[in-house]
Structure 1
């Protein structure tokens, strides 16, 4: 019997089989142990293209510089937590030494909700409450997502707004600062409400007020930005003087003009003071890659600037229907710098004959390229220099509204918000944008298609077949 046992143990196939079984069992045990160890390590890697679950450098700076405790209350009934939102909030809790995240069941804590609800208001489930020492802000559930409306008026979720909203709220409860936009009125200007973006700006922590300079002695000192939106009538010399004084003393301003017969007479007077003139006619683009639907709906090239950088990073276009060119006059103050933001291609032209409906270049047209938007900036380098100021000039204003058949264009809104952030730079302004859910489709050339098909359909199966055959031949004689 011992001899038969020895002969069995000397059997090569049995030994190799036992060796293989032992190796397989050891490998499985090792993988189980490794998995248990990895689960204990709080390491997460955000592999989403737009870094949906990662915090920006500006937010990290805000969190590390917090000098007072901030509590984040996430209001979710048990079992109904939004995982995607909680993962972002947990990053605030992890990175911010002064931030404490609490997940609260609103049904079990009505007293807490009553403390933060305004008179006649209700704090809804899914909302986030940001509380500091003396201030708090409630972020409603719907404001945590970037929502745009299509031409039929139906809402579409295009991105996530958790980081912009929460970081703005933390900035507010810790500093008390809210930027304020004054809209010039009295000359037929469009309002932010008419563009349909006033509520969105208020959700971005902006305060908005109308300003009639005929009834006001000056632009108020608490103005973060003065908005001059396509004035259709002349602005009086006295009003212009008040605007110039505000800007010269370090003010920030956005001037938008449209083609309305005589292009925005009020806007013309303001722009001339900073070396810009409203060009003749309206812009048409011949490069099919730089317009949508019609040559009149120009998608200008984004020039290199801090305002356009977020749009370039997120692959967003600005669409400017019936835009007018803004031209340098050569009469700007020596201390002022002009920088182009939006430009047509060299194939564009400006149509000067408004009666001519041709979509082709005419003899009377002015060839491009044409600049649609500029920044005007005076920097302060040393003590004794005049105060620094910033102005953004855009040869279009209707781009902020709904553009049929697309509705509101995300790139247009983000361009405006980025301009506001640039103007407010250095004034405790949070300039974080929503993170888009948009996923760029994979586009393959015919060569790439055949190459990948050959690798997947032929090369990989053939390699596996050859390796399997070699192993079988070697093991056949064991």
Structure 2
């Protein structure tokens, strides 16, 4: 081929168009190579999962920012094995904080290493985690990284991921000198705390013990006294012990359900802090503030630290069959009473408990009502810290029927306890759902979808191709 012919080929339109296409292809490939190199060198990632599985909560991020000592998270299992979801989330911890190290340890090859961490009685099998800092550590069993539904016999279903709750709780445990101790009052037919609530308190690093004031006073290691739905009043001697505990800067959470009995002794203790439980059932006539049943209340959340995070996260709280909390006109100047949950102005109080139907009479007390309140008494003479109370007009919100389906209920309790025990950065991390919603279709709907995918879409692509070919042919 002559040189002139070669030069002439460069002026040919087909060559120029082909050259432009080749150049554009080369540029696109070069851009893709550069983007891959940049992405490989950076830790920038996007969490596109439906329930934000790989995004650490603000509470976890705050805990990691406060961490100032090396912490190693040992994942029991081989380096290449293990749950990918667990491994990826642990990687997020390591990426977020330079003090975090994550290591895989094979328990079969290193039985001696694992044995030294069995002191707390944990069952450390493959998939378990050990969070260690110096001489202190906390173990997390593999089954505690998830929540399960055992309602169907013989068919256990994983429902949600609890890893972040457990790992962040372990980090807070290592950062504290001791765990706060909660004593639950017994001897008055109180309701026991549900197992799920107890597991959540364990994740929050609380130690829960039972206490009867018949035989002893409130122990010195008690950080919080918890009274859950007593059916009988305290004796005068028990009330005196509770009064002394609070006078010394003690903290108490009192969840009082509506009963047929009065509580004069317990009421006298509450009156000393400017509050009382108003014996009525709150009925909410505003449909925006109930859950379809006028006694299943969806109250307003106040600006108090206990419920502020719930309000910011738009996490509702459901309070069933609640009494009202009343602030007394006469109270000490040092006492501050702050509402936590309130009803609408359309709420009213049912005081005739023998009536089966909810019928508002002219004499019925009118809302709005306070359903829960936080009370604090500033330090005074002979007391170095403030006394604190959280008083709620219902304990039914902790029933599994409600706490299991409304996550805000459990968070209301744990946030209250964190406020009472002065725990900064307390957890309110919710499990992340692992359930996928299935699209259920009947036979006709499945046939239509198959026809669209198998017939209509291919025909549309074929028609578009024929149209383009015909246009180019007639140019």
TM-score (norm 2): 0.81
Q: For the Cα contact (< 8 Å) 1:76–1:106, is it kept in 2?
A: yes
Q: Describe the shift of the 1:153–1:255 C-alpha distance in structure 2 as closer, same or farther (beyond 3 A).
A: farther
1:121-144: CA deviations, max 9, x gaps?
A: 631221111122222211112322
Q: Which residue number in structure 1 is paired with residue 398 of structure 2? A: 400
Q: Structure 2: how far apart are the matches of 1:39 and 1:244?
A: 63
Written as runs of structure 1 = structure 2, the 5 A alignment for 1:221-260 is: 221-260=220-259
Q: For the Cα contact (< 8 Å) 2:63–2:425, is it kept in 1?
A: no
Q: Structure 1: how far apart are the matches of 2:388 and 2:173?
A: 24
The Cα of 1:315 is off from its aligned counterpart by 3.1
Q: Structure 2: how far apart are the matches of 1:48 and 1:331?
A: 54
Alignment pair present for 1:412 and 2:406? no
Q: Structure 2: how far apart are the matches of 1:120 and 1:228?
A: 30
- Name which of 385, 388, 392 aligns with 2:386: 388
Alignment pair present for 1:213 and 2:223? no
Q: Structure 2: how far apart are the matches of 1:313 and 1:429?
A: 15
Q: Which residue number in structure 2 is paired with residue 327 of structure 1? A: 326
The Cα of 1:350 is off from its aligned counterpart by 0.9
Residue 372 of structure 1 aligns to a residue in which SS? strand
Q: For the Cα contact (< 8 Å) 2:78–2:105, is it kept in 1?
A: yes
Q: Structure 1: how far apart are the matches of 2:153 and 2:287?
A: 27
Q: Which residue number in structure 1 is paired with residue 10 of structure 2? A: 9
Q: Structure 1: how far apart are the matches of 2:132 and 2:247?
A: 38
Q: Which residue number in structure 2 is paired with residue 32 of structure 1? A: 33
Q: Describe the shift of the 1:240–1:70 C-alpha distance in structure 2 as closer, same or farther (beyond 3 A).
A: same
1:383-404: CA deviations, max 9, x gaps?
A: 9986312211100012111227
Written as runs of structure 1 = structure 2, the 5 A alignment for 1:250-289 is: 250-262=249-261, 264-265=263-264, 267-289=266-288
The Cα of 1:12 is off from its aligned counterpart by 2.9
Q: Structure 2: how far apart are the matches of 1:18 and 1:184?
A: 85
Q: Which residue number in structure 2 is paired with residue 298 of structure 1? A: 297
Q: Which residue number in structure 2 is paired with residue 134 of structure 1? A: 135
Q: Describe the shift of the 1:196–1:75 C-alpha distance in structure 2 as closer, same or farther (beyond 3 A).
A: closer
Question: Structure 2, unaligned stretches of length 5 or more?
Answer: 438-463
Q: Which residue number in structure 2 is paired with residue 448 of structure 1? A: none
Q: Describe the shift of the 1:135–1:6 C-alpha distance in structure 2 as closer, same or farther (beyond 3 A).
A: closer
Q: Structure 2: how far apart are the matches of 1:361 and 1:151?
A: 42
RMSD: 3.5
Q: For the Cα contact (< 8 Å) 1:372–1:395, is it kept in 2?
A: yes
Q: Describe the shift of the 1:198–1:45 C-alpha distance in structure 2 as closer, same or farther (beyond 3 A).
A: same
The Cα of 1:227 is off from its aligned counterpart by 0.4
The Cα of 1:348 is off from its aligned counterpart by 1.5
Q: Structure 2: how far apart are the matches of 1:95 and 1:419?
A: 28
Q: Which residue number in structure 2 is paired with residue 424 of structure 1? A: 421
Residue 369 of structure 1 aligns to a residue in which SS? coil
The Cα of 1:247 is off from its aligned counterpart by 1.8
Q: Structure 2: how far apart are the matches of 1:154 and 1:257?
A: 37
Q: Which residue number in structure 2 is paired with residue 69 of structure 1? A: 70
**When the two structures are aligned, how many residues end up with a matched partner?**
444
Q: For the Cα contact (< 8 Å) 1:228–1:267, is it kept in 2?
A: no
Q: For the Cα contact (< 8 Å) 2:249–2:383, is it kept in 1?
A: no
Q: Structure 1: how far apart are the matches of 2:308 and 2:296?
A: 22
Q: Describe the shift of the 1:67–1:14 C-alpha distance in structure 2 as closer, same or farther (beyond 3 A).
A: closer
Alignment pair present for 1:366 and 2:365? yes
Q: Describe the shift of the 1:273–1:298 C-alpha distance in structure 2 as closer, same or farther (beyond 3 A).
A: same
Question: Structure 1, unaligned stretches of length 5 or more?
Answer: 442-464
1:57-96: CA deviations, max 9, x gaps?
A: 5545544555543221112345432222223322333344
Q: Structure 2: how far apart are the matches of 1:372 and 1:154?
A: 40
Q: For the Cα contact (< 8 Å) 1:375–1:393, is it kept in 2?
A: yes
Q: Structure 2: how far apart are the matches of 1:422 and 1:158?
A: 30
The Cα of 1:150 is off from its aligned counterpart by 6.7
The Cα of 1:327 is off from its aligned counterpart by 1.3
Q: For the Cα contact (< 8 Å) 1:257–1:263, is it kept in 2?
A: no
Q: For the Cα contact (< 8 Å) 2:342–2:370, is it kept in 1?
A: yes
Q: For the Cα contact (< 8 Å) 2:239–2:265, is it kept in 1?
A: no
Q: For the Cα contact (< 8 Å) 2:270–2:276, is it kept in 1?
A: yes
The Cα of 1:147 is off from its aligned counterpart by 5.2
Q: Report which stretch shifted further, 17-26 or 57-66.
A: 57-66
Q: Structure 2: how far apart are the matches of 1:21 and 1:90?
A: 41
The Cα of 1:153 is off from its aligned counterpart by 12
The Cα of 1:376 is off from its aligned counterpart by 0.5
1:351-406: CA deviations, max 9, x gaps?
A: 111122223433342221111101112345x99986312211100012111227x8
Q: Which residue number in structure 2 is paired with residue 433 of structure 1? A: 429
Residue 401 of structure 2 aligns to a residue in which SS? coil
Q: For the Cα contact (< 8 Å) 2:276–2:325, is it kept in 1?
A: yes
Written as runs of structure 1 = structure 2, the 5 A alignment for 1:17-56 is: 17-46=18-47, 52-56=53-57
Q: Report which stretch shifted further, 361-370 or 391-400.
A: 361-370
Q: Which residue number in structure 1 is paired with residue 443 of structure 2? A: none
Q: Describe the shift of the 1:132–1:244 C-alpha distance in structure 2 as closer, same or farther (beyond 3 A).
A: same
Q: Structure 2: how far apart are the matches of 1:304 and 1:153?
A: 45
